[in-house]
């Protein structure tokens, strides 16, 4: 019964929303075949996409069947990750990029992952408003996700939503994440093209970037090029990148002014270049990498759960070993997994 109520509500949104969705949009009845829903997603029915994304985010009872029905349609979208320190201008640049992509006739899905501390929870709404290019356009779909509960990392829901956008035949899926801790590694695993933003005036971030963000960048961007210190930031980044000769491909360093769209064409061109490289490697490679990531995440969850749910005999003896110094935590972890 609950299900009916939810579907009912989906069918009777506000009139403004209904107008935006168009009259053709129908709700997804609880008994609609997943393949039917996927067909409506591929036809660009906004409400069908919205419904699927919600189901996949919540990992509802229907989600596995839906994921199954989506499989044969996956592999079209290019997934572009934007990461970097808060305030670097990621949302603003993504907004500018959406505009360009739409001009080029591309359909764009955006997943914005915010660090959702109880205090800054409002940041999600801020991003929604900033992405104004997306508001009245059926070729753009924006979904904000909380990163709560994943230690700052990407929620596995993000990967499922990428698949939903992909199955809906979006050309571009943009993933915006704040480059802290686990996030940057996650983006490296999940995105096909990794864009790392820096901006002048954000303090010691270049130093911090050397270890983490610089490692994963396919493209570096110095945003806020209108600000004092941009040249210096650019210089520092190029210097830091030059030290690492281990890359197979040189990492371009671009300057942008996201607010006025300057440099966005160049960024699009570089994204397309990396995209071509990725396409040559094959969609199977990309999808396998995302699958591997999901398995690793699920495995970590399982191990955590097992450890938290109480000590079996083996865990007790592993703990004793670590406490006495006879075993390192790493060795104990290895044995736990065996
Ligand atoms: N001067 C200047 N400000 C910018 C530029 N791009 C973004 N901003 C501003 O920087 C602030 C943070 O931008 P936002 O996109 O929210 O950064 P995010 O936290 O990385 O997503 C906002 O006030 C933007 O208006 C730029 O190119 N130049
Ligand atoms: Mg943002």
Digit-coded pLDDT (tens) for 33-60: 999 999 999 999 999 999 999 999 888 9
Does the pLDDT of residue 125 top 80, yes or no? no
Per-residue pLDDT at 26: 53
Give the pLDDT band of residue 3 (cuts 50, 70, 90): very low
147 lines ligand 1 (CB under 6 A): no
Domain that holds residue 98: 74-281
Give the pLDDT confidence score for residue 218 in this predicted structure: 92
Domain count, the chain: 3
Each residue of 192-208: b (16+ CB within 10 Å) or e? bbbbbbbbbebeebbee
Q: Are residues 58 and 100 in the same domain?
A: no
CA of 38 relative to ligand 2 center, distance in Å? 30
Residues 64 and 96 in one domain: no
Residue bearing the CA closest to ligand 1, atom 12:
87
Distance CA 254, CA 238 (A): 10
The finding on whether 89 has its CB within 6 A of some atom of ligand 1 is yes
Percent of residues, the chain, with pLDDT higher than 70? 75
Q: What interhelical angle do 63-70 and 156-167 show, nearest 10?
A: 50
User: Looking at residue 256, what is its pLDDT?
Assistant: 97
Do residue 233 and residue 99 come from a single domain?
Answer: yes
Q: Is 220 left (phi over 0), alpha (psi -120 to 50) or beta?
A: beta
Query: What is the per-residue pLDDT for 292?
Result: 84
DSSP 262: B
Same domain, 208 and 126: yes
pLDDT band at 28 (very low <50, low <70, confident <90, very high): low
CA of 121 to the centre of ligand 1 (A): 18
Nearest-atom number in ligand 1 for the CA of 92 is: 15
Two tokens, residue 316:
């007790």
Q: Diameter of the chain by CA atoms?
A: 69
Considering only 148-152, 193-197, 292-296, 321-325, which range has the smallest mean pLDDT?
Answer: 148-152
Cβ of 224 below 6 Å from ligand 1: yes
**Dist CA 60 CA 221 (whole Å):** 38
Does 58 share its domain with 97? no
Question: Does one domain contain both 263 and 217?
Answer: yes
Question: Among 281, 297, 314, which residue terminates a domain?
Answer: 281
Are residues 8 and 154 located together in one domain of the fold? no
- Report the pLDDT averaged over residues 138-156: 71
Of 135, 123, 53, which is closest to residue 95 (Cα–Cα)?
Answer: 135
Geometric angle at alpha carbon 223, from 198 and 180, rounded to 5°: 30
Q: Based on the domain organization, do 188 and 233 belong to the same domain?
A: yes
Measured distance CA(266)–CA(253) in Å, rounded: 11
CATH number of 82's domain:
3.40.50.300
Ligand 1: centre distance to CA 252 (Å): 21
Task: In whole angstroms, give the CA distance from residue 250 to residue 241.
Answer: 9
Is 255's pLDDT higher than 90? yes
Higher pLDDT, 88 or 146: 88
Query: 156 and 229, same structural domain?
Result: yes
- The average pLDDT across 235-239 equals 86
Query: Does the pLDDT at position 245 exceed 90?
Result: no
Task: Indicate whether this model's pTM tops 0.75.
Answer: yes
93 and 191, same domain (yes or no): yes
Asked if residue 261 and residue 180 are part of one domain, the reply reads yes
Q: 109 with 229, same domain?
A: yes
135 CA distance to ligand 2 middle (Å): 16
Q: Whose CA is closest to atom 10 on ligand 1?
A: 89
Contact 290, 190 (CB under 8 A): yes
CB 222 within 8 A of CB 90: no
């Amino acid at each position: 019964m609950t299900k009916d109520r939810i579907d009912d509500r989906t069918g009777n949104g506000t009139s403004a929303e209904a107008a935006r969705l168009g009259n053709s949009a129908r709700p997804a009845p609880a008994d609609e075949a997943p393949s039917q829903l996927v067909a409506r997603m591929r036809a660009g029915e906004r409400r069908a996409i919205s419904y699927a994304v919600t189901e996949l985010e919540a990992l509802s009872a229907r989600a596995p069947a839906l994921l199954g029905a989506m499989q044969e349609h996956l592999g079209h979208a290019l997934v572009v990750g934007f990461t970097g320190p808060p305030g670097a201008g990621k949302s603003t640049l993504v907004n500018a990029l959406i505009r360009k992509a739409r001009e080029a006739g591309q359909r764009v899905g955006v997943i914005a992952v915010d660090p959702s501390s109880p205090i800054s929870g409002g940041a999600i709404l801020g991003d929604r408003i900033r992405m104004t290019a997306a508001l009245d356009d059926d070729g753009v779909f924006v979904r904000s996700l909380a990163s709560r509960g994943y230690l700052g990392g990407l929620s596995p829901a993000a990967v499922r939503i990428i698949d939903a956008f992909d199955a809906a035949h979006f050309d571009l899926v943009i993933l915006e994440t704040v480059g802290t801790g686990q996030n940057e590694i996650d983006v490296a695993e999940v995105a096909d093209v990794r864009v790392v933003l820096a901006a002048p005036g954000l303090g010691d971030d270049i130093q911090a970037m050397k270890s983490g963000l610089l490692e994963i960048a396919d493209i570096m961007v110095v945003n806020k090029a209108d600000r004092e210190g941009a040249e210096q930031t650019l210089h520092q980044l190029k210097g830091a990148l030059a030290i690492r000769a281990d890359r197979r491909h040189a990492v371009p360093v671009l300057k942008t002014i996201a607010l006025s769209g300057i440099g966005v064409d160049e960024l699009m061109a570089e994204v397309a270049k990396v995209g071509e490289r990725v396409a040559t490697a094959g969609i199977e490679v990309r999808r396998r990498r995302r699958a591997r990531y999901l398995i690793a995440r699920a495995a970590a969850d399982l191990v955590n759960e097992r450890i938290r749910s109480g000590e079996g005999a083996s865990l007790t003896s592993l703990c004793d070993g670590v406490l006495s110094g006879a075993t390192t935590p790493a060795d104990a972890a290895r044995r736990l997994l065996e």
